[in-house]
Amino acid sequence: MSLIPGQDHTLRIAERGVRPQGVGEGRREARIGDRIEAVLEPHSDHGERPLATLEPQLDPSDKPISEEHRQDVVAPPPLWAVYVHLPDVVEVEQRPEQCPVHSGGVIPAEFAFCAPDGKTHATLSKNRNPQLAWSEVPMGAKSFAIVCHDPDVPSRGDDVNKEGRVVPKSLPRVDFFHWVLVDLPPNARGIARGGHSDGVVARGKPGPQAPDSARHGVNDYTGWFAGDADMEGSYFGYDGPCPPWNDAIVHRYVFTLYALDVTELPVTGKFTGPEARTAMQRHVLAQAAITGRYTLNPSVRL
C-alpha cells in the first residue's frame, strides 16, 4: 500500500489543554501554536475527496477563540482522535517545515495508564482508549482487528523505575502489547473514545467479550503485574502507556488497523498480541497504522 499519487499528505499536530490529575477539569483558550492531535488530510488541486472528512467536536465548556487568533487556530477534533485510511495509507511522516513535531503526535495523559507526577514520578491516569475512525475499506473485508504495541520497552529491567538510575538509550528494546482487539464487524468504521477502556482496573478488565460482538485479547500488563499481590490478573483489552519514568528515550505507541478476509480470527481464550499477529497471516487484505509518543520522564523532550 502507498500514499495516493499526486497528493501532498500532511499530518497537522495540535493540542487542547490537559490538566494534571488532581488539579481539576477544564480547558484553556486555544492559542497560536497549539497542536491538533493526529489529523490526516491531503492537499490537492485535482479535486480528489479527502482521506477522512473531519467534523470538529468541541466541548460545550470550551471558551471561544479570541478574534485576533481566530483565523490562525484550527478547531481540534476529539483529543487524540486517530483517523486512518484504508487501503492507501500505512503511515505518514510530516515534513519539519510543516510542524515542529517530526515523528507523530504526543498522546495526552487521558489515554495513558500512568500520568507524570512531580512527587512520585507517576500516578494512575484515566486510561481511556482513543477514538479511531477509518474509511475506504477494501472489498472482501469480513472483519477488522486493532493492535497497539510499544516497540521501545527495555529488554532488561535492571534500571527500570529505580532512583538515581537511568534506562540507557543503548539498551535493546522489545515489543509490549497494549491492546489486542479482533472480530470487529465489517460495517464498523470507528471506535468511540473510552468505549473499550475508561479507567485503570486492578487485576484487569474482564474479557474476552468486547463491544460490537468483538473479542479482546490480553495485553502485556498481564505479565508485568504477575506476582503483584494487588494488581496480578488477566488484563483484557486496552491499557495505555506507562513507560519507565527514568527511561532516556520517548516511547512510541503504534496503533495498527487490519482489514481481514475472515469473520472470526482463529484464536481462542486468553490470546496475546503475538498470537493474534500469527493468526492474521495470509488473512490481511490491508492495514494502516499511526504512531503516538509518550514519556513520564520530565528530562526527556517530546
pLDDT tens digits for 98-146?
322 233 789 999 999 999 999 999 999 999 999 888 988 999 999 999 9
* pLDDT computed for residue 151 by the predictor: 98
Cell reading at 41: 488530510
Residue 247 is classified by DSSP as B
Q: Which domains does the chain have, with CATH numbers?
A: 84-302 (3.90.280.10)
pLDDT tens digits for 174-199?
999 999 999 999 999 999 999 999 99
Nearest to 256 by CA among 151, 101, 123: 151
pLDDT tens digits for 43-79?
333 333 322 322 333 334 444 444 454 444 443 333 3
* pLDDT computed for residue 136 by the predictor: 87
pLDDT tens digits for 11-29?
222 222 332 333 333 333 3
Question: In sequence order, what are the residues at sequence separation of 6 or more whose Cβ sits closer than 8 angstroms to the Cβ of residue 275?
Answer: 217, 267
Instruction: Return the SS3 of 188.
Output: coil
- Predicted confidence band of residue 287 (pLDDT cuts 50, 70, 90): very high
State the amino acid at position 128 in one-letter form.
R
